[in-house]
Each structure stands twice: as C-alpha cells, then as structure tokens.
Amino acid sequence: MATTAPEATRPAGARSDRTMGHLALHYGAESDGPIAARLLKAMGLVETQVLSLPGGNFYRFVANPGHAARGDGIIYLAALPEPQRKLIETIQSLLGMETAAQHQAVTDYQAMLASDPEASFHFGFLVDSLDDLEAMVLNLRDLNEFDPELKGRLTIGVNRARRGDAEVDARLDASPVFGSCERYAYGRNGVQVFVATDLIKAGQLGDRMFLEFDYVFPGRTDHILSVVEL
C-alpha cells in the first residue's frame, strides 16, 4: 500500500506519483521455469511475454491486466544466473541444510518462518475481491495436493482479521478459507494469505519465496495495511 505524505512533510524533490515498478524473481532448474510461470498464473498474475533463452525461459507478468503496457506492477521471472546458483549451493552446503548436521541458525530461522511467514523477506499483492482470494486459495490447495507438477511444492498459510467488526467477523466465520483459521493478522479489517514455494529461489537461504496476498474490507480506514496492531 502506498501512502502520500502531506506537502509540509514530504522530502524536497519527492513526487506523489511514484509507483512500484517491478519485482524480479528467479527459478532454479530450467525445467522449473514453466511450472513456476504456471503457478504465478494460478495466483492471478497475467503473463504478457515469454522469451526462450539458453538455460531457461524469461517471463514477464503484470499484477493488473489493465496496466499490461505500463512500466509498473511488473513481475519478471527468469532462471537463476550461474554465479548466484553456485553461491546459494555453497551457503546451503556450509550450513548443512536439510542434513543431520544442519546449523542451529538455520533451524531457528525455519521455525520463525513457520510461525510467522511475514517475519522475513516477502512480497505482497493487494487483491480487490475476497471471493477471488478464497477461490485462489482453494485452487492452490488442490494443486498442492493433487497436481503432478505442483504437488508438495507449496506451503499455504492464512491470517484472518482481528475480531471487533460484526460484519467482517460474520463474513469470515462463513468463509471456506478463513472460517476455521485460528491465526490473526497484525491488524483488523483485512486478511492475509501466504504462499511459500521452492519453485522460486529467494530469501536469505535462497531456498524459497514467500508471496503474500491481502484483502482489505472496503470502507474501513483502519486496517491491516494502514495500522499495525501488536
């Protein structure tokens, strides 16, 4: 969410029309490229270009189909450059990742992310329809359980809004996604969905990417993206 500072407090030279430009993501093995691209499409992103390159395809997506020709809201997806791949492999090897000798720092870091997916590096999208967000989650759960290419490659978590608004509470209690959720966001009047996948290599350990999808109930000025509540 972008906020605009009052004229009196805006730094000299700052502009009010600045937007988020693009996010660059990487997949690992060449064969993971089409699967990762398919996953991004299942998350509602719109593919606008595919280039076939040595080592793996290069993809361009946009978050909003109405902005396909603009220079903002873009997500690029490409194969890991070889030096970056070797760096990640070296880091993981030295830390003994996924072995009996795994460094305690890795174990602690993984435990932190399991309990709080937004505690470290992640990227968030804002969705304007709760129905669409629920449909996306149900579809991703199905893909993670049954799809030959995506089975077991996703970790999906959800946070519901803190209670206090009767209308919001009733809608979420009846939700096929959030109704049974016992985790609450750091705020009210909005929900969060977290999708982690090893198809995209990012984060401190280069092993997976966390993507967040948020919905804010309309007409509320205090919500999860405007006021943080602890």
Distance of CA 68 to CAs 1, 57, 125, 188, 213, Å? Answer: 20, 19, 16, 32, 20
Domain-embedded: residue 13: no
**The two three-digit tokens of residue 19, written as one number:** 């937007």
Q: Identify which of 193, 195, 190, 221 has the alpha carbon closest to the alpha carbon of residue 209.
A: 195
How many domains is the chain partitioned into structurally? 3
Domain-embedded: residue 3: no
Domain-embedded: residue 2: no
Domain extent for 162: 116-230
Q: What pLDDT, on the 0 to 100 scale, is given for residue 8?
A: 46
Tell whether 96 and 161 lie within a shared domain.
no
> Residue 48 and residue 160: Cα distance in Å, rounded?
32
Tell whether 191 and 205 lie within a shared domain.
yes
pLDDT along the chain (230 residues), means of 10: 45 73 97 98 97 97 90 96 97 97 98 96 97 98 98 98 96 98 95 98 97 97 91
Burial class of residue 9 (count of CB atoms within 10 Å of its CB; 0-12, 13-18, 19+): exposed
Tell whether 48 and 72 lie within a shared domain.
yes
Domain-embedded: residue 6: no
Tell whether 150 and 213 lie within a shared domain.
yes
Q: What pLDDT, on the 0 to 100 scale, is given for residue 201?
A: 97
Tell whether 75 and 40 lie within a shared domain.
yes
Neighbours of 168 (CB within 10 A): 20
Tell whether 146 and 91 lie within a shared domain.
no
Q: Identify which of 74, 181, 197 has the alpha carbon closest to the alpha carbon of residue 140.
A: 197
Domain-embedded: residue 1: no
Burial class of residue 189 (count of CB atoms within 10 Å of its CB; 0-12, 13-18, 19+): buried
**The two three-digit tokens of residue 69, written as one number:** 């020709």
Tell whether 138 and 202 lie within a shared domain.
yes
Domain-embedded: residue 53: yes
> Residue 206 and residue 84: Cα distance in Å, rounded?
9
